[in-house]
Amino acid sequence: MKSLTLKDIEKAKALLKGIILDTPTLYSSYLSMDYNADVFLKLENFQETGSFKVRGAYVKLKSLPEEVLHKGVIAMSAGNHGQAVAFHAHHLKIPSTIVMPVFTPPTKVKNTEKWGARIVLAGLTVDESYAVAEDIAQKENLTFIHPYDDPDVVAGQGTIGIEMLLACPDLEVLLIPIGGGGLAAGVALAAKSIKPSLQVYGVEVEGYSFLSQQLYGTKDKRNGGITLADGIAVKSPGYLPQQILKTHLAGIIVVTEEEIEHAVDLFVRKQNMIVEGAGAAGLAGLLHNQTLFAHKKVGIVVSGGNIDARLVSSIMMRGQMREGRLTLLRIKVDDVPGVLEKVAGLISCHQGNILEVNHQRLIYEIPIKMAELDIMVEARGLDQIQGIIKDLEASGFSVIKLGNGLPLKGLDG
């Protein structure tokens, strides 16, 4: 495998001119104020396919001879790389096959299929899909387009680093999601070649911190499993990315599922921006260790925005519950006339808004002549909810606040 230099990335940038978007690097007033740093967002979720993958895919396809291209190409992908290959194959008028894990979000499958690709759903994981793709490639004489362990792909992704420093030369830190490592390797190589003083941190999600384990010998309490950041759920980082990153990274931050979810929620509710779990990993890295980046100019690669609408809706609701804007209260009451009116009156006195009421009488665990009310309350925040709970308990009601799936009694939540 050939080595990679800044010159290769500059050639890739020239090749991509007019083909993909030179996406904006925007200053975020909200994130900068809340996290005590100057935060700049590189918005690769604005690309036509919704992610940075269109860069490396095009550079790789254009490196292949015409006779090879017209036999067809094949890729393995959890979504974004497949969309990118299908997108460019459509415009280059060549056949493409994309192998995706069977549980790939329907949004990503549909968005890949619309570019005319043949979709093969096979394998429970990306690694299993990879084996299927290799088998099909051999049987049908197709050219395999690797998502990250390829110098042309890495060079394409590295153009992001050049663009970020052109837009904001004063950046001191970069936060980049790591799955297979192609994005982080390309950006780190480009950015560090241009500005050696820059600190580059990769961000992995727990359960898939395999590069951190290989480079630094860290341990992960989780091992695989379902993750919101499915785009970086890679068990085998590429050989080439590893060789680049071991000399270009300041470190790797391993974030939790909760931090990924919080980051997605911040993007949608505070930045009015749809970002997928893997795309929000860079921001999750900032949330994970705010003191490390305090008072610094931080660039975050927002790598993609392909996420199911239902999932975004759930994340937004959970975010509002985390902030106390929405709270589910379980209240035990005597089963007598007027009790619901009394409860509603107490909530109303605090300007709380009742969104939903579930009145249970017939559950065996509830004593006869008693009932249980599950009430969803909309409020300004946790202080208002605590005032409501305090008054309900002062009036003789037993109250449990349900939060994050666990009953938190009284004011402890």
List, in order of start, the domains of the chain with CATH numbers: 1-322 (3.40.50.1100), 324-409 (3.30.70.260)
- At 164, the pLDDT band (50, 70, 90 cuts) reads very high
- At 411, the pLDDT band (50, 70, 90 cuts) reads very low
DSSP state of 180: S
* Mean predicted confidence (pLDDT) in 319-328: 88
Name the more confident of 301 and 124: 301
What was the pLDDT predicted at 79? 83
The order of strands in the sheet holding 38-43 is 25-27, 38-43, 297-302, 173-177, 199-205, 251-255
What was the pLDDT predicted at 294? 97
Strand segments (E) across 9-142:
25-27, 38-43, 73-76, 96-100, 118-121
> Between the CA of residue 388 and those of 376, 377, 397, 407, what are the distances in Å?
12, 10, 11, 17
Which structure tokens are listed for 203?
């961000």
Q: How far apart are CA 103 and CA 208, in angstroms?
A: 18
What was the pLDDT predicted at 412? 34
What was the pLDDT predicted at 103? 82
Q: How far apart are CA 301 and CA 217, in angstroms?
A: 25
What was the pLDDT predicted at 324? 84
- Pairing state of beta strands 251-255 and 406-409? unpaired
What was the pLDDT predicted at 55? 98
Residue 404 has pLDDT above 60, yes or no: no
pTM of the model: 0.88
* Mean predicted confidence (pLDDT) in 12-28: 97
DSSP state of 232: G
Out of 158-162, 368-372, 406-410, least confident range: 406-410
Q: How far apart are CA 159 and CA 168, in angstroms?
A: 14
Which of 227, 222, 228 has its CA nearest to residue 315? 228
